[in-house]
Structure 1
Amino acid sequence: MKIVIITDAWEPQVNGVVRTLKQTRKHLIELGHDVHLITPEQFKTVPCPTYPSIPLSLFPGRKVSKLLDSYQANAVHIATEGPLGMAARRWCIKNDVQFTTSYHTQFPEYVRLRLPIPLRWSYAWFRRFHGKAVHTLVPTASQKQRLISHGFKNVEVWGRGVDTDIFSPDNPKQLGLTGPVFMNMGRVAIEKNIEAFLQLDIDGNKVVVGDGPDLEHLQQKYPDVTFTGAKFGRELASYVAAADVFVFPSKTDTFGLVLLEAMACGVPIAAYPVTGPADIVQQGVTGFLDDDLTTAAKKALTLSADDCIEYAKNHSWMACTRVFSDFMFNNQQSSKLEDTDITNHSFWCL
């Protein structure tokens, strides 16, 4: 089957969406599919005004149309709601081509953190964007119910996996720190609620692995915290394996791919009982969820690394990709679609 995936999130961005799409493409090819990507690499871009590390494709409509015309795909998947995603959506509707979408991130909540836009306005826009999709794929059952409660239709679960060949407890980084290490890894940005971690009253060392728009500000504000910057591949895994507890303070992630990656390294989780962690963490086994993050972090110190590793081994990328492939098989017949009035303004960079 020939599959086209359109995404505004791609390298050099470092986030769960990019990792998910790279693994999905890799395993789709291993399953024998012909996979084409449409990404910002193929377009002129400008930095997002409020998030410079995100490149925004400039006026991509004509080129996206030409690419989709030329690929003659059996299935089209729109992974993001940015300029490329909107251009692909318009092409699909114009040409009566069915498509699927993904809802990777709780963007209405992200937007609300940055701008005083009511959540109902944002959800209305995203509901209309995804409304014409055959399926909107989300990573967890709780996120599915969340979107349904906001009026979304045809929502289905497409889970996430972990590469246990890279993320393992082997070869932990020697950090030169005494006492327990509490770590957070991911994008250093306001929507990740990292300060809830940095402000914890716990005995031990706090380490933040990652880069993002708030890195410099937080380095200055919390000089006692170790900020490593971005790490990749096996080096990243070695840092994660050096932790005693992985603290995940985000309240807006739909999944939290880093949770599985930490568990694969034998590191238990401390998080809030919200969408994402609530679907992944086994309470009292692979982590602790508590509205008091300090309590969760202290309790997580008592958990077994082996239980975390065993749980992560049961979540392979190949299994997740087979689920995605099944949805693509169901997305091969064209049907008449009616457009809705989606404006050219994207919430992607807010």
Structure 2
Amino acid sequence: MRIVHVADSFPPDVGGIERQVEALALAEQADGHDVSIITAVNKDGAAPTSLDVHRGLRTRWLTIAFPSLNHAMVAEVFDREDVDVVHAHFTVASPIAIYAVRAASRRGIPVAVTVHSVWWKVASVHRFVSGVFFGPSRMRVVYSGVSTMIARHIRRVYPRCGEVSVVPNLVDTQWWSPAAPSLHRAGDPDFRVVLVGRLKKRKHIDEFIEIMSRVQAEVPAGTPVSVSIVGAGPRHDDRAKQIDELGLRDWVHLLGHRTPEEIRDLLHESDLFVAPSRQEAFGIAALEARSAGVPVVGYNFTGLADFVESGVEGLLVDDADDMVESLAKLLVDAERVEQLKASTRARPPRVTFDDAMQATYAFYDRARRELGGRAKR
């Protein structure tokens, strides 16, 4: 197949969506497909790649405000030879993706849209951009979400959109899995808690630090706990100040950026992984931790519910109060934590790399079946 991915975010920008689009395109290329990328990101210093990447205007805000200024670039990709499917990746703001979807629809190219972010936010921006900048939206597409939760949101917002597929993010679960038994036991000499995420507002790491302050007040004084927060970002200084103000310096440590190999080694000797975001559409870092054999503590109304069975592979809680109570109980119960670690390691993840690839190709087949082949020019 000739596949064109359209994403407003792409490397060298850093983030989960950027990683996912690149990883999916490379996997499809490895499967023998002809793959191109259209993106709004045009930065100097982008690493060389085997992918056919077409970047928007050098001045990024012009692409955001006036995506139609990229008309010639989009037309060149779509018209140089037949395209079997356009895979558009929607986030909260996706002006070039929306523009390219409409351009593909006019040409009769099947379009498969995957929503990567909490849908009600995406829907609001989608409607505004489509209506204000492009007139009434006339997009012929099929929809998918990266999790059951996102698919449910799409159906609720657009009840006439038809079937909504679930196309999980790609995580090489085998690469993250432990090769040997852990040498560390919970509470011996400490309970090791890990969080991996960019230090940005939407990750709710400030709320997690506040939760840990409340947990500290609930457990006996001197309870040995070591919390490692892995990740860099614009809120680093704010979080460091918060940790000091709450008296958590002995408990909580900001490790900054770490390589995937370093993160994997850290996870293999950890007891719990916490996913504190209440807007987690999927939870890439959480699935990586779960694949590494670490029980995950997160919210039951997020994408984590697709691959974490509460009580077996971690705990899924209702709200912040529930998370405080659950962590406070676990961090004084080494036997319970070890039980969760054993059951997590004993079960293969419910979402694997192969599952995600099969779901993606099935989604493309559905788009081509429901939307038909390319119209004649």
**1:324 is matched by which residue type in structure 2?**
T
Task: Look up the match of 2:108.
Answer: 96
Deviation, 1:82, is 1.9
Task: Look up the match of 1:159.
Answer: 168
Task: Indicate which of 233, 236, 250 corresponds to 1:215.
Answer: 236
Q: Secondary structure at the match of 1:169?
A: coil
For residues 230-279 of structure 1, the C-alpha deviation after alignment (integer angstroms, 9 at most, x for no partner) is 22332232233343111111111111111210011111011122121223
Task: Look up the match of 2:204.
Answer: 193
Correspondence 1:47-62 to 2 at 5 A: 59-62=69-72
**2:85 is matched by which residue type in structure 1?**
A
Contact (CA 8 Å) 2:119, 2:154: kept in 1 or not? no
Contact (CA 8 Å) 1:61, 1:84: kept in 2 or not? no
Deviation, 1:178, is 5.4
Deviates more, 1:236-245 or 1:56-65: 56-65
**1:79 is matched by which residue type in structure 2?**
H
Correspondence 1:178-327 to 2 at 5 A: 179-199=190-210, 200=212, 201-202=215-216, 203=223, 204-223=225-244, 224=249, 225-290=252-317, 291=319, 292-297=322-327, 298-299=329-330, 301-327=337-363
**1:76 is matched by which residue type in structure 2?**
V
Deviation, 1:214, is 1.9
Cα distance in 2 for residues equivalent to 1:160 and 1:98: 21
Cα distance in 2 for residues equivalent to 1:56 and 1:210: 30
Deviates more, 1:202-211 or 1:21-30: 21-30
Contact (CA 8 Å) 1:160, 1:320: kept in 2 or not? yes
Cα distance in 2 for residues equivalent to 1:8 and 1:28: 19
Alpha-carbon spacing, 1:219–1:131, altered in 2? closer, same or farther (3 Å): farther
Deviation, 1:125, is 4.2
Alpha-carbon spacing, 1:236–1:215, altered in 2? closer, same or farther (3 Å): same
Contact (CA 8 Å) 1:100, 1:133: kept in 2 or not? no
Cα distance in 1 for residues equivalent to 2:154 and 2:207: 26
Contact (CA 8 Å) 1:108, 1:123: kept in 2 or not? no
Q: Do residues 43 (structure 1) and 79 (structure 2) align?
A: no
Q: Secondary structure at the match of 1:85?
A: helix
Correspondence 1:71-86 to 2 at 5 A: 71-80=81-90, 81-86=93-98
- Structure 1-normalised TM-score? 0.79
Task: Look up the match of 1:347.
Answer: none
Cα distance in 2 for residues equivalent to 1:35 and 1:228: 37
Cα distance in 1 for residues equivalent to 2:157 and 2:234: 30
For residues 173-199 of structure 1, the C-alpha deviation after alignment (integer angstroms, 9 at most, x for no partner) is 99xx95212211122221111122112
Task: Look up the match of 1:343.
Answer: none
Higher-helix-fraction structure = 2
